[in-house]
Structure 1
């Protein structure tokens, strides 16, 4: 474990670096391969009561033979060091160098350096370090060399090989190979220890994640360790979700660290035979991301909700964005899509977003939806364009676009005769965990996500310079959106109905398609008001009990200006978990449940995750809809600020961007703004014209004003808050 801590010191700065930092030599591989490899390693760590619990879907692997090359023009000869994971050859201008050289000399002039690497066990990867000759994402790579040579030795004039930009996580230490990567750890002690049967119950004070360390272990017999997110779970030796068994035969004291990290708050250690131990601690395992975003307000309970949401999200930010730390620990696309949005308002770690998107998609050919779930394929598309919107990273879109095309081709091939999607063998239509939620027929929610994904494909096709694809996907999206409203919009109910069965729309109205239609901006102004009244604020429409879909419901209400209502809902819903003693937010919360009913799910008494990424959505809601900050051009080249107090006396916070923070303070008398990036537009409502020294105030409507925010300047705006103000 000491090695793991040292490893972090060398890797943390290189893995989780800001994109703004200058490029230097790094380990490179075929794009997406290390992400897929690492997700396989991580996702296959799941155990359930000591048994291996593999994922439900096809797992792809890295390419085992990869060719890398780049052309360089040198003004003088250069000595270049080579570090390689795998068996390899090296060529300069097509001429092979004998053996496995660690250092080569490249003459002055224009030359092509090539390395071909084979590695079955790990990802073929290279690190090239010279004065100007370095390995980075400008290198080209291929997994399939389609060259041929005739009898004379001449190479073909027409190449059939497809080369793509190399992938990288910015591992910048040549002596630490990518396959050695592990998350860092730090020691933590229990806050309370008490006797429990033939052992001890250790309380670590709050939900946490890491490796249990047993100090002074000795004797002969068995040590059993039962983990619990709750006290009840840890004490339930026959029903707890995770455990460890150790058969001990030690005459002298020895410290022992469990082989797999686990989620827990409580640890119940039981001893049999003569086994004993001096104490138990843990090594807390974490992703070394930087907390950049912040939020604080006049409401102490809301501040607590924000802090616990941030902690919940950090726990579920690991090598990738995962669903929950106790049970699955898998990369679910629907969960990850929400994590991306939370990330943009907290850590703004672009690398983790890219890794997760690569890992989810896997390789061609496509044989099933992502995670086998129809809606999860659509969230994957949406996540890519959002990534571009927040980061401005066009290269990533271009790199991943071919895999977007092949997934969309698979989806297009599953349409029925009416051009709609419905359940087919192998598909899982998830939508949400909800009792009596019909998945039969052609569900409107799936068609809506499909339309949005086609729009995303059109936008990304333009970024990838595929004009024909952009036009094709745009036409498909337009056709499907028209069909969506022709078939599902019910004028009497002022809502999209849930489904169409046997060619006929049902009368059933659910919240899902309707709330997404609001923030997708698919409705007219009148339709939005109808949906708000007849669906979102209608208690007769089935309520949502998961934080997963609560996220979108509250976003739709915020988009309709209902921040005051949403504030009460956040305090009731997330505050309700806090009142029950939650130290992280749960997979599901139903206030009608009592006692240990809150711990049960999936037919198991402790099946529910008490630390789930989708429970952390207040991070996004508060940054996007209360502080009111969002990019209007990719990478925050331009952005909007439209603060909404929603009943708060004051609030303040930071929203991170690729190149610095946007700071906002808002009370019912004053707004302060400072930005390190781009050109912003502050929009506010005031009874009288705001006083903004050093700024131009423009009235764009009755009582509605705009102020331009320039990079590096501080603005203090006095305004008159009223019933129709912020």
Structure 2
């Protein structure tokens, strides 16, 4: 392990553990809280657990003797310079000089974790950890100084108090009251006013009998005692009034509480459960409908940002790699919360051996690699890459072992090829979309191999990536259709053209400009090509159009699609929206009357689109060391907003005549299309082709750039 990847050394003590172990265990707890109508509903893929025995160590140069407090989750011993202290000391004294501290911890029930606090000796992410120290002692009693032990830097988060035990972590809650309550003879229908998530609290509960709580994202669902997706049953036996909080948090807007005649209930409230992350990005413009869409997208994303980025709050509450990948991108333009990205990445990957694709879905394995690629681009965090490189390699080894005779990815037993929820979408043969994601994943591996100086592997991955990219066009490009076809079966192209591989090839820059223009016409703007009805793939379709300077078209699509959900009463964005459906049809999915999630993370994509393609801010070097700003009003009169970066915000105000910009860090380039050469305070303008101008932006200064939009 190359410790030079650590970006800083903390002087504050924090709880530490083996990287990924806390995250995996927390994911196990969260994902296995899912119930359907009161029945436990676990995940259907392999889940891992923590290593039960852990060795933590670090060498310190101590300027003067100090007293060190030690807190541990588990049974443990402590060594100083190889000599063990008696028992399991809660405090040790360390003399001046250079010393190595080892703490070995065993914990079967919870993640082995330590918190060490002295004046200079503190536990933080610079400590080294291993789950097997492979230390052996020969017949003379001498411990071996040769070992094959693999050491990693410790994992940590923000558990910075000795009493803040990692094993006791829970999301914060706050009281919320209902907007309205309709009382029946032995029932209450409670409306919280909008989609929400948390623990239902029953007040003034008294009597003897049964009580049922039926949850609904819609009023119809809450009233459907036979078909609502989630419920709680309570046995009441109390001669005095009492309050009772439901054991599990759930998603709902409406709650239908029904109880026996011998039971009385005063009122119902809730404890709203949320992730304590801070908004940093923002967007407002002259169009109030777009502002409303942005605000509801924000709230949708808030609800689905929990211990991890999850898919939806009602039904699954699981970590799905394809959903999470989109959440990462939205996060970079709203919260820029790296910790939730890292937690989710660790949880999805799990541990070796790899026995199946992530979530059992081939494309979701590839989206995991893509998430690594973008994480590095947005954050510049080499340390996280180094910590996970071995896990990346073994996952890619699994993928490479499942290629067919032509070196392509094709369905094998145990695989689920998802792509999208779309009627009649074929998954047979060698699907072009999977090859495209495979190529990008290999490029990710090459990038990461170079970061950790694994040059031979980098060469291998680059060669494989180039081969798959070539095959993508040799096999799937059809000159007559001016597009990539959907698949190849038995060595022959199918006639079907779908949007998926074509739109990804645009913003991956796999197409040349001529191909991009052809595909825009033949696929993206072609109503004969099967339309997309999920926000999941609308995300990428609209991104491809934005990448082709079609912001005016995309703005109309946003108003039609996301605005269409708002017109139907949505208070958060849905898993799927088909404008042709009417009434309660909008709630149906998976063959169930209320199977559809009305609050799904992939519905919040305007956060990303408006930040990256309207404000136009994106990193061009890891961690925003350099970045570009290419604002595009897309028919708006004005817009303003903030885009977060690792070192502060980029602030923008844009009209058709002026751009105001201020950035906290990094070297930026504003790219403008203007009828005249831009002017302004202390600006340096470089003219490019076709009326495009570039203006350099340095950190700390506010620039006012006057131009004339085309």
User: TM-score normalized by structure 2?
Assistant: 0.98
Residue 475 of structure 1 aligns to a residue whose secondary structure is: helix
The match for 2:69 is 81
Q: Does the 8 Å CA contact 1:222/1:273 hold for their aligned counterparts?
A: no
Q: Give the Cα separation in 2 of the matches to 1:479 and 1:353.
A: 31
- Post-superposition Cα deviations, 1:407-444, rounded to whole Å, max 9, x if no partner, equal 00000000010101111011000000000000000100
Among candidates 168, 176, 186, match of residue 164 of structure 2:
176
The reply on whether 1:654 has 2:642 as its aligned counterpart is yes
The match for 1:250 is 238
Pairwise CA distance, 1:480:
0.9
Where do residues 232-381 of structure 1 align in structure 2 (5 Å cutoff)? Answer: 232-381=220-369
Q: Give the Cα separation in 1 of the matches to 2:357 and 2:374.
A: 20
Residue 156 of structure 2 aligns to a residue whose secondary structure is: coil
**1:20 and 1:613, CA in 2 relative to 1: closer, same or farther beyond 3 A?**
farther
The match for 1:482 is 470
Q: Which moved more, 1:470-479 or 1:697-706?
A: 697-706
Residue 320 of structure 1 aligns to a residue whose secondary structure is: coil
The match for 2:3 is none
Q: Does the 8 Å CA contact 1:37/1:61 hold for their aligned counterparts?
A: yes
The match for 1:521 is 509
The reply on whether 1:627 has 2:598 as its aligned counterpart is no
Pairwise CA distance, 1:197:
5.7
Residue 581 of structure 1 aligns to a residue whose secondary structure is: coil
Q: Does the 8 Å CA contact 2:10/2:124 hold for their aligned counterparts?
A: no
Q: Does the 8 Å CA contact 1:28/1:166 hold for their aligned counterparts?
A: yes
Pairwise CA distance, 1:572:
0.3
Q: Does the 8 Å CA contact 2:11/2:122 hold for their aligned counterparts?
A: no
- Post-superposition Cα deviations, 1:311-336, rounded to whole Å, max 9, x if no partner, equal 00000000000000000000000000
Q: Give the Cα separation in 2 of the matches to 1:716 and 1:176.
A: 47
Pairwise CA distance, 1:670:
1.1
Q: Does the 8 Å CA contact 1:441/1:502 hold for their aligned counterparts?
A: yes
Q: Give the Cα separation in 2 of the matches to 1:410 and 1:635.
A: 30
The reply on whether 1:441 has 2:440 as its aligned counterpart is no
The match for 1:11 is none
Pairwise CA distance, 1:675:
0.8
The match for 1:152 is 140
Report the number of matched residues.
704
Q: Give the Cα separation in 2 of the matches to 1:473 and 1:697.
A: 40
Pairwise CA distance, 1:196:
4.2
The reply on whether 1:424 has 2:412 as its aligned counterpart is yes
The reply on whether 1:676 has 2:664 as its aligned counterpart is yes
Pairwise CA distance, 1:124:
0.2
The reply on whether 1:47 has 2:35 as its aligned counterpart is yes
Q: Does the 8 Å CA contact 2:124/2:154 hold for their aligned counterparts?
A: yes
Q: Does the 8 Å CA contact 2:78/2:104 hold for their aligned counterparts?
A: yes
Which blocks of at least 5 consecutive residues in structure 1 are unaligned? Answer: 1-18
Where do residues 308-707 of structure 1 align in structure 2 (5 Å cutoff)? Answer: 308-707=296-695
Pairwise CA distance, 1:702:
3.4
The match for 1:71 is 59
**1:196 and 1:515, CA in 2 relative to 1: closer, same or farther beyond 3 A?**
farther
Q: Give the Cα separation in 2 of the matches to 1:657 and 1:586.
A: 29
- Post-superposition Cα deviations, 1:217-244, rounded to whole Å, max 9, x if no partner, equal 0001011100000000000001000000
Q: Does the 8 Å CA contact 2:287/2:636 hold for their aligned counterparts?
A: yes
Q: Does the 8 Å CA contact 2:9/2:126 hold for their aligned counterparts?
A: no
Pairwise CA distance, 1:22:
5.7
Q: Does the 8 Å CA contact 1:196/1:268 hold for their aligned counterparts?
A: no
Q: Give the Cα separation in 1 of the matches to 2:202 and 2:72.
A: 38
Among candidates 104, 107, 112, match of residue 119 of structure 1:
107
The reply on whether 1:164 has 2:152 as its aligned counterpart is yes
Among candidates 84, 87, 90, match of residue 78 of structure 2:
90
Q: Give the Cα separation in 2 of the matches to 1:310 and 1:323.
A: 15
**1:423 and 1:252, CA in 2 relative to 1: closer, same or farther beyond 3 A?**
same
Q: Does the 8 Å CA contact 1:49/1:241 hold for their aligned counterparts?
A: yes
Q: Does the 8 Å CA contact 1:316/1:324 hold for their aligned counterparts?
A: yes
Pairwise CA distance, 1:530:
0.8
Q: Which moved more, 1:308-317 or 1:192-201?
A: 192-201
Q: Give the Cα separation in 2 of the matches to 1:424 and 1:22.
A: 47
Pairwise CA distance, 1:157:
3.5
Residue 260 of structure 1 aligns to a residue whose secondary structure is: coil
Moved over 3 A (4+): 19-23
Q: Give the Cα separation in 1 of the matches to 2:669 and 2:110.
A: 49
Q: Give the Cα separation in 2 of the matches to 1:370 and 1:52.
A: 22
- Post-superposition Cα deviations, 1:5-43, rounded to whole Å, max 9, x if no partner, equal xxxxxxxxxxxxxx9996511100001000000000000
The match for 1:62 is 50
Q: Give the Cα separation in 2 of the matches to 1:452 and 1:702.
A: 31
The match for 1:5 is none
Q: Give the Cα separation in 2 of the matches to 1:347 and 1:720.
A: 33
User: TM-score normalized by structure 1?
Assistant: 0.96
Residue 680 of structure 2 aligns to a residue whose secondary structure is: coil
Q: Does the 8 Å CA contact 2:442/2:465 hold for their aligned counterparts?
A: yes
The match for 1:224 is 212
The match for 1:34 is 22
Q: Give the Cα separation in 2 of the matches to 1:23 and 1:580.
A: 53
Q: Give the Cα separation in 2 of the matches to 1:606 and 1:268.
A: 15
Q: Give the Cα separation in 1 of the matches to 2:302 and 2:8.
A: 22
- Post-superposition Cα deviations, 1:160-188, rounded to whole Å, max 9, x if no partner, equal 21111110112101112111110000000
- Post-superposition Cα deviations, 1:577-633, rounded to whole Å, max 9, x if no partner, equal 000000000000000101000000000000000000000000000000000000111
**1:704 and 1:23, CA in 2 relative to 1: closer, same or farther beyond 3 A?**
farther
Q: Does the 8 Å CA contact 2:207/2:236 hold for their aligned counterparts?
A: yes
Residue 72 of structure 2 aligns to a residue whose secondary structure is: strand
